[in-house]
Amino acid sequence: MLKFKFLLWAFAHLLQRKIRSNPDCARYVGTKKLVFQIRTASGAGRTYVLQDGAVRSLAGLSAAPGRPKQARSEGVAEGTPVSSDPAFTLSFSTPAKGFEILSAKDAQPAFLRGVGSQDLVISGDFREVLWFQGLTSYLQPPKVIAAWDRSPF
């Protein structure tokens, strides 16, 4: 459980660093406004807010629809209301499965295997989930091309 919670906390920081350091990623995020959450079936998770080219991570999950949640976040003033309606939710069956899928080297195939095995349940707007998958592709390390493959000969 602790590894999963740490991964969720670090995820926002990795995204923010990539947005600052990679102009392509910053262009991809642009002025996108998105609220989503990653959680387990038991209720542990975090809410993420993308707004104005920045990522914020809020401890816990969104409140019931119609009632804004009070923020407990890094970089957000205490008591700041947050949108209560996430565009999508990634819900993992267990924290161990969540950690396994989110930290896999083959991210997209692991994501699809999780959906197929019901270890990952996606609810909400699937267009936003696909956009999010595109965003996470910026977190993958660049492919190393051997010198002999770059040669024009």
Question: How many of the other CB atoms lie within 10 Å of CB of 76?
Answer: 15
Dig out the tokens for 6 from the structure. Answer: 């740490």
pLDDT for position 68: 45
Residue 10 domain boundaries: 2-150
Q: Which residues of 22-53 are buried (b: 16+ CB within 10 A; e: fewer)?
A: eeebeebbeeeebbbbbbbeeebbbbbbbeee
pLDDT for position 79: 44
Mean pLDDT of 2-14: 93
pLDDT for position 152: 67
Q: H helices within the chain, ranges in order?
A: 2-21, 23-29, 95-102, 107-116, 126-136, 147-150
144: number of CA atoms within 13 Å, CB side?
Answer: 2
Model confidence, pTM: 0.78
Averaged confidence pLDDT in the chain: 83
Phi-psi region of 46 (alpha: psi -120 to 50; beta: other; left: phi over 0): beta
* pLDDT greater than 90 at residue 66: no
What is the band of 64 on the pLDDT scale with cuts at 50, 70, 90?
A: very low
Tally of domains within the chain: 1
Mean pLDDT of 101-106: 88
Percent of the chain clearing pLDDT 70 (strictly above)? 81
Q: What is the DSSP letter of 55?
A: E
Range in 20-24, 46-50, 99-103, 105-109 with the lowest mean pLDDT: 105-109
What is the band of 107 on the pLDDT scale with cuts at 50, 70, 90?
A: confident
For the stretch 115-152, pLDDT in tens is 999 999 999 999 999 999 899 888 877 777 776 666 66
CATH code of the domain covering residue 95: 3.30.1050.10
